[in-house]
Structure 1
């Protein structure tokens, strides 16, 4: 009996958290530009006009930083557990996909290792192969993910 078309036992898409929407970034940058314009006008009136180009550079630097952050936010990891395999697909911001497969999944171990400072690291391991997952998640989210994966593996093994 082939399980290729079977329903996944566990299916999750992990994405990095972004606290500021693109609209919020625009508001923030326009607000900063407005404030720097006022400060720049004050400096220009005082005769310190050479500082004005630096204010423009600051705005460009912040724009570049938020753009880079938004681009990085397009990456994600897709974890899918079926009776045949555990598949982890990593999609980079460029769209390039890297897929890792653990088959059969019955031997898969979910390892949550504590790190200094209250952090942790989540790894999937089987047959000498280990893969770190959820690196962009918070420690609490990695803990929840580890518990959910363990529950799904328990369900798979008992079936």
Structure 2
């Protein structure tokens, strides 16, 4: 803020909340390599058994199965590159979504006008989280689980309430 109460965007504002959300993958690279080695070994042994029995086309189908499983895991790992970054400052709420292909979509909302809507089921928990402001509705955290969504919603609501209270002046500063 300047003396004339104009907003100065060059001044860094404190971050009230910052989160980077990424899809969960339970299988890391080492686990993937071990699984693929195991599948290759089992398919090769089973294929050789069928080859020795005279059913030679089955050997090729076992190899094809391994290739399809490899392709499915690669697609799954590629989709894990998606992310969402949510940042709340006293003057803006910024949602930056990066798709698995690298496409970036960004929304900038005023935290004073934002409300957090949630839809869910009593048994399952929170299914969807939405940021709603001036007729715009932005879905956030769609790849989180119900418990993670509840925790995320609680932290985001606290940050939005803090933004609505405004920046508090603290004359005692620590170096």
Question: Is the pair's TM-score, using the shorter chain for normalization, greater than 0.5?
Answer: yes
SS at the partner of 2:54?
coil
Q: Which residue of 2 aligns with 1:110?
A: 116
Q: Do 1:9 and 1:81's aligned partners in 2 also have CA atoms closer than 8 Å?
A: yes
SS at the partner of 2:161?
helix
Q: Provide the alpha-carbon RMSD of the alignment.
A: 1.4
Q: Which residue of 2 aligns with 1:49?
A: 56
Q: Do 2:19 and 2:85's aligned partners in 1 also have CA atoms closer than 8 Å?
A: yes
Q: State the 1:158 CA deviation.
A: 1.9
Give yes or no for the alignment of 1:92 onto 2:99.
yes
SS at the partner of 1:106?
coil
SS at the partner of 1:32?
helix
SS at the partner of 1:105?
coil
Q: Residue 16 of structure 1: which of 12, 23, 33 is its match?
A: 23
Structure 1 or 2, whichever has the larger Rg, is: 2
Give yes or no for the alignment of 1:83 onto 2:90.
yes
Segments of 4+ moved more than 3 angstroms: none
Unaligned 5+ runs, structure 1: none
Q: Which residue of 1 aligns with 2:137?
A: 130
Give yes or no for the alignment of 1:63 onto 2:70.
yes
Give yes or no for the alignment of 1:34 onto 2:41.
yes
Unaligned 5+ runs, structure 2: 2-6, 167-175
